[in-house]
Chain A
Amino acid sequence: MGNGVQIQSTHLGKASIQIPAGSNRNVVKVLLETDKNAGISAITGLDLGEKIGLMYHVRTNGVIVTISTELPKDNPQIPSITDLIPGANFHEREVADLFGVIFQGHPNPGRLVLPEDWPENLYPLRKDAKIDELTTRPATSSFSKGAVQSEAESKLVNIFVGPQHPALLEPEKFSVKVDGEIVKAVEPRIGYVHRGVEKASEQRTYLQDVYLVERICGICNSCHASCFVETVEKILGTEVPPRGKYLRTIILELNRLHSHLLLLGHAGLEIGYETLFQYMWRDREPIMDLTELLTGNRVIASSLTVGGVRRDLKETDVPKIKTQLVILRKRMDFYQNLFNSEPSLRMRTRNVGTLSKEDALKLCVVGPVARASGVNMDVRKDEPYEAYGEIPFKLITRSEGDTYARLMVRLDEVTESINIIEYALDHLPEGPYRVKVPRVVVAGEAVSRVEAPRGELFYYVKSNGTAYPERVKVRTPTFANIPAFLKTAIGGSIADVPANFVSLDPCFSCTDR
């Protein structure tokens, strides 16, 4: 791998490699060649005072290997790895936005999450960034100016979707360039929901941060909480009692159930099948009731905490949960039948937005999107967390890679989730559900992964020995999956864009943070 390389085993994944800045390309290349399913999970920037730290978290053989390097703060430059692995594109742009690292040779550098009119040379996640100046910044126009178009491009019609659009629940803008009916290019403009959560988490205690990170995304809130508390527990060396682990697993699977049903219904709406939407959402309501029963709230559960869960499950509630799951299982049989036999549904989704396995690996997509393209990838199997190592369940994959496959993977996962919850309820261990943990966290750093409904969720936390974290990095599944849409939409019909897009289960509050 070259000179000056040190390999250690830490909480930063299976191994942590310290390298000099110039050899990042070689080391990443070597690691990517060890496994044909390898990809990049995240790139983390860090303010080390005099220097900028940079970490490449590479996913290889189902585990994370972290490559760290340091750059001088006044001129942080490093060769880009986007040509080695195209999935690194957005990760590098994000670090460039927030830390001012220049990636030499990046194909399309530019703003990603910050507004277009953000001041130059102001990098919000650097410790010396002037926060007061930022908050009193006058709100000026941030409409992006039209780029210079080539002659071939100017013949295309530009269709803007968003920021306010009935098909999008969230404010994001996509400009779709079409030639007649055929999509030629898609340009995303994300960052409308960028709320600066990573910076805010440095100003709050670990306990407060649990509530903050839950509010990154209202749909997969427990997954965010779970990933964060696991990372902190790794630094602390806390072992959660078995009952706590099982209760967490049940909450996480309820989260997955409601998220998948939500998406399947939403997909129905986007393909013009509103009955499916209404049916799915009706069947989702009992899951919301169960979440309320278990955690006290329908949506944001706020049930997980460092050291366990905040509420125990009452013995009398177990039959109530089981009864609802039996009803839902029957309904899932109905939907299986519907998805397999309904011609209009198949016509709108079959062979739409097909993502090949090679492209899925190159773009480093995660979760159901990757599994629908035949990539065997699930954090619950690769690196079991909570109680998943003890619970038998099936990994769902399909080979088609089209919109239909992505929806079917989720439909089958709903049944698996029901199995997991039933198994966890039957094997719920006795004993405490929470242990006491100190408020001040010892110095250290750790990474953690959780399989959220949309795919692999990644957290990096660095502690400096106080009650406040030094750095919290969040890489959400949709952030990794958007490149898949930008790739598969091209060449398809404009009418297929909504169905293709929604099959990724996009969540921009996650993406932008």
Chain B
Amino acid sequence: MTSISTRLANKVTWARLKSPWVLHFNSGACNGCDIEIVALLTPRYDVERFGIKLEPSPRHADVLLTTGVVTTQCAERLKRIYDQMPQPKFVVAIGACACSGGVFKGNYTVTGGVDKVIPVNAYIPGCPPKPEAIIDGIVKLLNSLKEAKPDDSK
């Protein structure tokens, strides 16, 4: 017979998979990826049917969706927002800029991709990725969470 704590942990994982709350942060994007994220919430794509909800506060969020290259002014904010999120937390880098720096790599106010500042769990390339690709990325992340234990997240 499984212990109460294991059953509780399973329950929590189940709840997390069924309703991941996401926070969106733009650390210097061109708005291209951002409008595709907003498109996810609107009737054609409607990710709320998967239980995915856009959450305004970092303190309530499970997944951080970041878009855009990280500018030096935003790097500190991005780190702060990540630190404010409760464990376990997951980061999805959306778009070429967030993945690697994209066309802005090497510019004088640019730090680089998101992984230069915080650990990233999933990368979704594209300029910008189509909403279908973003959904696919998030679903893949959720599938990988099935096996994950709470302290697995970095």
Contact = CB atoms under 8 A, between A and B. Distances in A.
Nearest to A134: B108
Contacts of A135: 106, 108
A171 B30 contact: no
Contacts of B110: 195-196
A282 B68 CA distance: 25
A15 B72 CA distance: 40
B107 A200 contact: yes
B31 interface: yes
Contacts of B106: 135, 200
Contacts of B73: 115, 142, 191-192, 194
Given A218-B34, A300-B32, A194 B56 contact: no
Interface stretch (B12-20, B75-83, B86-94, B135-143): B75-83
Interface stretch (B3-11, B38-46, B146-154): B38-46
Given A212-B103, A298-B36, A194 B30 contact: no
Nearest to B107: A196
Residue picked from A134, A200, A277, A278, most chain B C-beta under 10 Å: A200
**Secondary structure dominating the interface of B:** mixed
B32 A171 contact: no
A285 B44 contact: yes
B28 A193 contact: yes
B100 interface: no
Contact of B34 (A165, A170, A281): A170
> What size tier do the contact residues of chain B reach?
35 or more
A219 B57 CA distance: 25
A217 B30 CA distance: 5
Contacts of A141: 76
A9 interface: no
Contact of B30 (A115, A215, A277, A278): A215
Residue picked from A215, A277, A509, most chain B C-beta under 10 Å: A215
A164 B58 contact: yes
Contacts of A134: 108
A195 B111 contact: no
Nearest to B104: A195
Contacts of B109: 114-115, 124, 194-196
Contacts of A194: 71, 73, 109
B30 A509 contact: yes
Contacts of A318: none
Interface residues of A, number: 48
Contact of B32 (A193, A195, A212, A299): A299
A199 B109 CA distance: 11
A195 B69 contact: yes
A131 B24 CA distance: 32
Residue picked from A124, A191, A192, most chain B C-beta under 10 Å: A192
A283 B90 CA distance: 33
B48 to A, nearest CB: 11
A163 B103 CA distance: 23
Contact of B25 (A115, A142, A171, A212): A171
A87 to B, nearest CB: 25
Contacts of A114: 109
A507 B35 CA distance: 12
A262 interface: yes
A63 interface: no
A219 B31 contact: yes
B76 A192 contact: no
Residue picked from A114, A137, A298, A299, most chain B C-beta under 10 Å: A299
A130 B112 CA distance: 19
A280 B53 CA distance: 20
A217 B72 CA distance: 19
B39 to A, nearest CB: 7
A460 interface: no
A30 interface: no
B121 interface: no
A131 B58 contact: no
A139 interface: yes
Contacts of A485: none
Contact of A199 (B36, B38, B107): B107
Interface string A264-287: 010000000000011001100100
B31 A169 contact: yes
Nearest to A141: B76
Nearest to A143: B76
A298 B95 CA distance: 14
B107 A219 contact: no
Interface in A129-148: 131, 134-135, 137, 139, 141-143
Contacts of B24: 169
Enumerate the 8 nearest inter-chain pairs by beta-carbon distance, A residue then B residue, closest first.
A218-B32, A166-B56, A281-B42, A196-B107, A134-B108, A218-B31, A218-B30, A282-B43
24 contacts: A115-B72, A124-B108, A137-B72, A139-B72, A164-B58, A169-B38, A192-B28, A193-B68, A194-B109, A195-B28, A195-B71, A196-B109, A200-B103, A211-B103, A218-B29, A218-B30, A218-B31, A218-B33, A219-B31, A221-B32, A282-B43, A298-B128, A298-B130, A509-B30
Interface of A: 114-115, 124, 131, 134-135, 137, 139, 141-143, 163-166, 169-171, 191-197, 199-200, 211-212, 215-219, 221, 262, 265, 277-278, 281-282, 285, 288, 298-300, 507, 509
Interface of B: 24-36, 38-39, 42-44, 56-58, 68-69, 71-77, 81, 102-104, 106-111, 127-128, 130
